[in-house]
Structure 1
Amino acid sequence: MEIQKLRILGEASQYDLCNYVSLNQENFTSKNLPGIYHARTQSGCQVPLFKTLMSNHCINDCNYCINHCHNKFERIEFSPDELISVFLHYYQNHYAEGLFLSSGMPGDADRVMENMLEVARKLRLEHEYQGYIHLKIIPGASYDMIKRAMNLADRVSVNIESATSSGFDELTSTKDYYNDVLRRMKWIGRLKKRHPEMAPSGQSTQLIVGANDETDQDILKRAEWLHKHLDINLSYLSPFQPLEDTPLENHTQPENKRTPRLYQAQFLLNSYGFSSDELLLDEEGFLFLDEDPKYLWAKSHPDMFPLEVNEAGFKELLRVPGIGKKSARRIIESRRNGMKFRHLDELKKIGVVVKRAEPFIQLERAHQTTLPF
């Protein structure tokens, strides 16, 4: 019976992202190990997690979700002790190194949270488990439950799902965007500022791309706000998938390149010092899909290029296509040690993507190529 629960509830958890991927493809190991999922970090490392829902019972009517309240299928759930037993089996046999726990909402949000917190509490205090735990915060959960979760988990998250309240209303009628979601995210942010030791990996969130009429501009402005006000460095972007037996099963999927371009643009906002107003969008507020948004920005600013690599500051270097944060730091550090860059091969050795950077830079006042304008 437990293995059947694992297959159903583990599979149902795949729509909660904890992975930086360009497409919503969850990397589950095999049918023989249901619930084991390899999360990829931004640094490229893979970490096997035990990833599951506590319950697929739900009173919410989210139009994109297989567990929406109007769907007729067998509803099941783990008890805290059942879930602990399965996780410890996986952990002790080195199948999983961490736990990602979410749940449907069978009723009162705090009752759902209580069961999830009991799992984390027993793992920490009774089984002396000190590894990674990511707890999903149920929309509408009380301040006390959120505080308790942050004392037990390495990371917590609330799925914001939409960039705007109107977009959120297109997806569900049973949750309130500002009260049930954003208010809880702000509580997490305030608690984190007051108690930095709580939830040491911080909070994350997820937006669905293409399930409603929101534009890329809407999504990027929300991602920018989340970074500025809640210190969320990466909002996970889940490309909408029409699921059978959901109200949106006939809804069109977004274009394949849309989510990867949004990720690229989000990195420009949160890591490269760009603002959402600087990004090039079409008349309807969408990114151009045929080219990297950083490259398009550089092409539209011929007055700033070519940039002299041996004199440019860190922020200026970050504006050059093909130069990332690591390679920009290496350029600055090399210059401090007295090095002058004279050849493209020298930049290539420290990680610059020379093919992309070449039209936008000069070395010792020598242009490397003709600008592509």
Structure 2
Amino acid sequence: MGWQIWVGLLVFWVGGCGFGLLLMQRFIIQTGTYRLPYPLVETYVQLILTHLLLVGFASLTRVLGNPLRRLGFGAAVAPAYPVAPPGGAFRGSNKQPSILNILRWLTNGSGGIAGGGLFEFDKQVAKQVLPLAIIFVAKVVLSNFSFSYTSLTIYQLARIGVTPAAIILACILQKENFSGSTLSSALIATLNLLFASLRSHQRVTPESIVAGVFSSFFVALYPIMLLRTYRSLVAGLVPQGDVLTGYPSTADDSTSNREETRAYYRTLHYTSLLALIILTPIVLISGDIGYVFHNLPFLDVTWFWFMIWCGALGSFSVFVSTLLLVKATSPLTATFLAVPRGAFQLLVLSHLKLPAHSWVGVVLCWISSLWFLVARREEGRNLDRLRLEGR
């Protein structure tokens, strides 16, 4: 029961954070006096601030480590030290710190996000996370690009194929077999969202449609690669001979819990850092930074940066909680969550002024989503029973 409550909280949290992020993106990119109509620059600034929030969040969990452990949330505390002790930067040496020593401490010291310094960079770990970072950059950039040039309904129509793509990719890459109830409920909910989003006389631009269609593939692939990358990092940290059961770690299983926590923060750190490394030359080559400085006269306005930080906070919340949701449920469930959230977004952003067919589509979408919830819950119980029986 506790595990089901945890999953339910994650579902509402991730869905709410996703809706809040969409609202902030709408304010920043599309509406208002202080618009930033350069989605590439907006994405880049948002990712930089997200990385800074990751550093602050990891540091905060270390400061509150003892209270969190007493409350049973010790798994949330970020690792404070690297896996192996560093090569002695600032330790056992009477030499004055030099620039080289400072750089060595930043990359191989303690702290940061994953315990290895602010700029921790292990080449082997980076190679494991690089495919995930590329998919993450493509997902975020294409989604923001599509959203910035069209309305919400056209944006959702362009990305309506996310759930079917997630089902196909899960069957191919994860070798999953879904029940008829799961497939029927997911596809019916998607079709109802499509029905609810249909409008006449909507502004359609080819750029938004193409970007939205291509982003659908990366949105569907991202949770699968996220879980696969996390599991590979856990496998590299767990001592040889130990076995991870796939169940939540208990209080007595401190070793497994510690390694899973390190792998979680490593996944976040390297995905965020590599995404910035990948996106930096693209932003510089595009020349959008020059346009921003020349065409936006409100870069020194406090309200503008307040909106940017609120958007970064939403991005950070979705980024850190998506992996938790994927671990607790499955990549398909994490992807499907956008379907009932999309119906809710239509309802709220239209101020409840929807045509009759859209109301029917929204209601049927939510009913199908409840059906999907029941079907996935039954599938999870059957899988747990088979796992316990050793089959």
Whether these two folds match at TM > 0.5 is no
Q: Select the structure with the greater relative contact order (CA < 8 A; seq sep ≥ 6).
A: 2
TM, length-normalised to structure 1: 0.26
Structure with the higher fraction of residues in strand conformation = 1
The structure carrying a bigger helix percent of its residues is 2
